[in-house]
Chains A and B, each alone.
Chain A
Amino acid sequence: MTTIANDLRLIKTVDNLKNYLIAAMKIEHATIPPYMTALYSIKPGTNLEAFHIIRGVAVEEMLHLTLVANVYNAVGGTFEPNTALLAPDFIPKYPSYLPTGSTDFQVGLGKFSQETVETFRKIERSQHVKEDEPLVASRALEEYLFDIIGYQPNRSFYTIGLFYTEIIRGLFALDKEYQQKGENLFCGDPKRQITPEYYYNGGGDIIPVTDIDSAIRALTVIQEQGEGSTNDRIFDAERELAHDYRFQQILLGQYYVIDKDDPTTKSDQPNQPTGKHFTVDWDSVYPIKENAALSDYPDGSEVRQAALDFQSAYSEFLTKIQYSFDGHPEHLIPAVGGMFRLKEQANTLMRNPIPGTPGVNAAPIFRIDQPSLS
């Protein structure tokens, strides 16, 4: 891993690394509003299997966000006001490309549908690249939404996993450089780490990061939960089904089977699940406005007020998460509790038709509240 030619590596300084990690938080988060929107558009009491599959993935994205924050803190990252999770461009303006720079598909906020689940599979798609090859494909400079590859604006990562592979390569190389200089890349205060006592059962184990080994472990969990461990397997190192295949189950209406004792030879092959069948009722879904914006809601309507309330609650949620990452780990659990309230607010919106638009229901808006000018 450390033998790769230096010119293939994009992360050459700790500042590069920190930018990549902030971008990683942006990527992890960018998937949450789409997953939440589809999830809550399902009518209560229906599509239970699909609901739990999407929910499980969304919860793991929260874990990933937290793991990245741990790596960021471990290498001395700090959270300045209006940066990171609270930067004006932290939440993509949906529909949007993923912040990996990939521009072959866009992610939007839509109801639970076959099309939506297909997009979710693309988000979680995998592609494995040999260690001695570059991870980004050259592409023409085009409309550019995200500055994360700011250093390499003409390149993009095909998958989220490859983006992390770049970070892992960078970490190894920087760690070696620092050691040779007699310095420690992992200079962050361990008290800023989110440790298991501050993180409860949210999609896997939280890993406190204090050195290169724990950093790699944390990032590997993210890669593998998303994509599985190699191209021809459906499961990750924890023997859990990779996200892409979890979503595929919804489209096929059938579960994959993983043999936990002998996963390699006895588990299902990709695209050939053999588990229990389940029913997906694509109609038992609220007909919500896709990629809703505040301007979709009439002035003075309750729907508009509720959408604004949701937006504020979401901003507050991110504010609290950032505060907990910024040296106050004990604030994380109450902040995550706030997510449950967001669910109720989202549900209320989605069950209400937009006044003057029969047959189209409201949907939550994910924006950071702009500081008021007054």
Chain B
Amino acid sequence: MIDINSPEFEYFLNLSVVLTGFSRFHLQGTGVAHLYFETIRDILGEELFGELLNIFHGLELEKTEQSIFSDRLRSEILASEKFGPITRNIIKVWYMATWYALPLSWRDVFGTKEKDRTFIISPQAYPEGLLWTAIGVNPPGAKGPGYGTWSEPPLVSLNQG
């Protein structure tokens, strides 16, 4: 059983840091890291999700130089037929709080997962999307900056990552 108390959760956070470019502090600060971990696990199944996280963890353990680590991440995960679409989905989850159904080409080879459909992960996750921080705006319709502040310069700073 992999859950938020197993080492795989740590691997997930570390992988997310590499994939999103945001710090661990920022990612945990969204308050939805547990939710994302559990949601993705439930869609992919423990076996597939665990396999991805352990491959990543293996790369971390063998990491000597950053450039080699990055190359291996690209070739062994991002370019992988099996894990590439999943990791790209994880990026989208963090940035848009949305899980996108895996591409047809992936499903043809690896099978269709029952819960694999496009959906917003939760109402609380939407305003926490990294997209809004990355482009320096408030999430539309959420995190209201207060009455009258629309006439003031934006308050979201660009360097929170």
Q: What are 20 A-B interface contacts by the 8 Å CB criterion?
A: A43-B31, A44-B31, A200-B147, A201-B147, A302-B24, A302-B25, A333-B146, A333-B147, A333-B148, A337-B145, A337-B146, A337-B148, A338-B155, A340-B143, A340-B146, A340-B149, A341-B145, A348-B29, A348-B30, A352-B25
Contact A306 to B147, CB < 8 A, known contacts A45-B124, A338-B155, A351-B30? no
Interface residues on chain B, size class: 20 to 34
Contact A349 to B145, CB < 8 A, known contacts A45-B122, A45-B124, A302-B23? no
Taken residue by residue from 130 to 161, chain B's Cβ proximity to chain A (1 for < 8 Å, 0 otherwise) reads as 00000000000001111111001001100000
Give Cα A351–Cα B27 distance, bound, in whole angstroms: 9
B17-45 contacts to A, CB under 8 A, are 23-26, 28-31
User: What is the minimal beta-carbon distance from A39 to any residue of chain B, in angstroms?
Assistant: 14
Cβ-based interface call for A336 (8 A): yes
Starting from the known contacts A45-B122, A337-B155, 9 additional A-B residue pairs (CB-CB under 8 Å) come to A201-B147, A302-B23, A306-B29, A333-B146, A334-B152, A340-B146, A348-B29, A351-B28, A352-B29
Task: Tell whether, in the assembled complex, residue B29 and residue A337 are in contact, meaning their CB atoms are under 8 Å apart.
Answer: no
Taken residue by residue from 305 to 340, chain A's Cβ proximity to chain B (1 for < 8 Å, 0 otherwise) reads as 010000000000000000000000000011011111
Q: Which chain B residues lie closer than 8 Å to A45 at the CB level? A: 122-124
Give Cα A306–Cα B28 distance, bound, in whole angstroms: 13
Q: Which chain B residues lie closer than 8 Å to A43 at the CB level? A: 31
Contact A336 to B146, CB < 8 A, known contacts A45-B123, A306-B25, A341-B155? yes
B89-111 contacts to A, CB under 8 A, are none
Cβ-based interface call for A347 (8 A): yes
User: What is the minimal beta-carbon distance from A350 to any residue of chain B, in angstroms?
Assistant: 8
Give Cα A282–Cα B24 distance, bound, in whole angstroms: 27
Query: B residues within 8 Å of A by Cβ?
Result: 23-26, 28-31, 122-124, 143-149, 152, 155-156
Give Cα A347–Cα B160 distance, bound, in whole angstroms: 14
Contact A337 to B149, CB < 8 A, known contacts A44-B124, A45-B124? yes
Contact of A340 among B24, B124, B145 (CB under 8 A): B145
Cβ-based interface call for A303 (8 A): yes
Q: Which chain A residues lie closer than 8 Å to B148 at the CB level? A: 200, 333-334, 337
